[in-house]
Amino acid sequence: MADEEKTATTVTEPTYTREALAGSKKYREQCDIIMIALEADKEYTMAEADKKIEVFLKNPVKEKINGKG
């Protein structure tokens, strides 16, 4: 019975497409990052999107110069 009560009170976070997140007021400044870092056919919670943005920003910049690189 206690297990049933725990599952009944568990609330899941809403999920959003990358387009919905990129168009939101919260992610307005990071919309380009969202379009690159998130997959098109998946939905993400805001916490997952924040984590993906954080990982993306921590990656070093890879620069090609004149096709060498």
Determine the Cα–Cα distance for residues 59 and 64; give it in Å rounded to an integer.
16
Does the pLDDT at position 1 exceed 90? no
The domains of the chain are located at 12-58
3-state SS assignment for residue 19? helix
Does the pLDDT at position 7 exceed 70? no
Give the CA distances from residue 48 to residues 2, 12, 32, 36, 60, in Å, rounded to whole numbers and listed in that order.
30, 13, 16, 14, 21
Residue with tokens 């007021």: 25
Identify the H or E element spanning 9: helix 2-9
pLDDT digits (tens, 9 = 90+) for 11-50: 788 999 999 999 999 999 999 999 999 999 999 999 999 9
Identify the H or E element spanning 21: helix 18-22
